[in-house]
Structure formats: C-alpha cells, structure tokens
Amino acid sequence: MTAGTTDTTVTEEQDPVLTEVVDGVLVVTINRPGARNAINTVTAEAIGAAMDRLDSDPTLVSGIITGAGSTFCAGMDLKAFLAGEKPSIPGRGFAGIVEGPPSKPLIAAVEGYALAGGFEIALACDMIVAADDVKFGLPEVKRGLVAAGGGLMRLPQRVPYHLAMEWALTGAMITAQQAHEVFLVNRLTPRGGALAGALELGRAIAANGPLAVRATKQVIVEAPEWSRDEMFDRQRDITVPVRGSEDAREGATAFKEKRAPRWQGR
C-alpha cells in the first residue's frame, strides 16, 4: 500500500500482524504467509490488540482484516496447538476476534483460502470482499472435529438454513461465486484485488459520521435480540445521544453549506 500511515515494517518472526491506517481505516494484516497465516497464540494476541486499537482510537472509523501473501487464513496453527499453544485470548476468543468482534465495522479482505478458523474469522466480520477465485469452507467434520470458532452459529445467520446445514455437514469447499450469489460476500474482485476492494468500501464508511457509524452497527447487531415491546426504546438509547451530538449538527450544517462535513467524533 502507498496511502496512509504505516507502522514500522518488521519480519514475520518479529511481528505476525501488521497494521496500517488509511483514511480512517485500520488495515490489519495477518503476516504469516509461510504458515498460510494460521493462528497461533502470539498472532491471536496481536489481532486482539489491533481490535482494541480499532475500538479505542477515535480517529478510526472502520477496519479491514486480511492475510499476507496468497491466502487469507488456514485456521488454527496445528503445530503450535500440538506444542501446547492456545490460539485464543480471553474476551475475544479464537484469533482475538471470533468471540468479541470490534464495535466498529470490520471488513474481511479475502484472497486464496479462508478455511476452518479462517472462515470463522471472515464470518466474524461485518462485510466480506473476496477475490473471484477464493475458496471458503468449514472442513472440520472431515477430520472428526467440530467448528467451534463461531462458524456454526454465524453461518445460518448469513445464508439460508438448509444451505448452512449442507456446507457445515459436508465440509464442502464453497466458491467465491457461490458465496456471492447468496450474499455472504458483498463484493467480488479479480485475484489480488480484495484489499483494494475492501479499502474502497472501508473509505466509504469512514467518510461518514463516526458516532453514527458505530451506533448503526450496534443497532443492527443487537436488534435481533430485542423483544417487539422494547425494540424502539432500546434503539432510542443508542441513537438519541448521536442525534444530540456535535457531529449531527455538523452534518446538517455541512449539508446546508454544501460542503464536506468535518467530523469531531463528539
């Protein structure tokens, strides 16, 4: 990447996760291409730290997670697992993300393969941009295992029930085209173009009011758990503070003055 502010680049052995800020978007890259970006303990900790940064930094509005090299993520690092490592952290779970995704929008930029835990990382994101030759899958049943990183819970929320059952019970490879046809993937790109496509989407989100973006995600994520009687009251709890914010006034003023808004995040 050429735009934005980049953290100091180091070797894979020194830092398995790299971060870069591009126009209000935090790009998080799993940097273990020699291990197909599989997740070990230090990688999970680094991803979790990046998610904490995304949540806490008021200058960041959205995030992207991607993989270095030709693949997104092959899931858990089996060698590390056999050595006694745990590829998860308290509070955020596997890969530092599946049990505690960030409160701000997160996009998966997928190249190559997103299998097992790698697919579960993508499913923990709010949007997916994928190269048109990508393969997704939860192949755990083929090895007598169960996908326990949120995939079995999230997949039926993303695609029709019977399709989720078929994919999970057969452990089938899912093409990017299949995933796009059922709206699991937001956008398809040519090979090598997933990150650029995700940045286009991330920038479009980051151009909007940061308080409004965060609240909008919160309502969409939490609303399915609200009862009919409480849903508008619960929504008001989230949206009324945004409506009374300085950013809301700035948005209306900018519209009136026919200029781009200058968000302050307050």
pLDDT 10s digits, 53-62: 999 999 999 9
Residues of each domain in the chain carrying CATH 1.10.12? 210-257
Active-site residue list:
120, 140
Q: Is the pLDDT of residue 2 over 50?
A: no
Mean pLDDT on 69-97: 92
3 has pLDDT over 80? no
How much of the chain, in percent, has pLDDT values that exceed 70?
95
Say what angle helices 231-243 and 210-222 make with each other, to 10 degrees.
Answer: 170
Listed in sequence order, the residues at least 6 apart from 224 whose beta carbon sits closer than 8 Å to its beta carbon are none
Give the pLDDT of residue 189. Answer: 98
* pLDDT recorded at residue 13: 54
Euclidean distance between the first and the last CA atom of the chain, given in angstroms as a whole number: 30
* Amino acid identity for residue 37 in this structure: N
| Mean pLDDT of the 187-216 span | 97
User: Quick one: average pLDDT of 119-130?
Assistant: 98
Each residue of 222-233: pLDDT tens digit? 999 999 999 999
Q: Are 4 and 23 contacting, i.e. CB atoms less than 8 angstroms apart?
A: yes
Q: Is 91 helix (H, G, I), strand (E, B) or coil?
A: coil
**What is the CB neighbour count within 10 angstroms for residue 174?**
22
Token pair recorded at residue 27: 């790009």
Locate CATH 3.90.226.10 in the chain: 5-206
Average pLDDT, the chain: 93
Topology, domain 5-206: 2-enoyl-CoA Hydratase; Chain A, domain 1 (3.90.226)
Summarize pLDDT for 167-176 with one digit per residue, the tens: 999 999 999 9
Cβ-contact 121, 81 below 8 angstroms? no
Model-level pTM? 0.91
* Predicted local confidence at residue 10, as pLDDT: 38
Class of domain 210-257: mainly alpha
Q: Tell me the percentage of the chain whose pLDDT exceeds 90.
A: 91
- In which band, very low, low, confident or very high, does the pLDDT at 68 lie, cut at 50, 70 and 90? very high
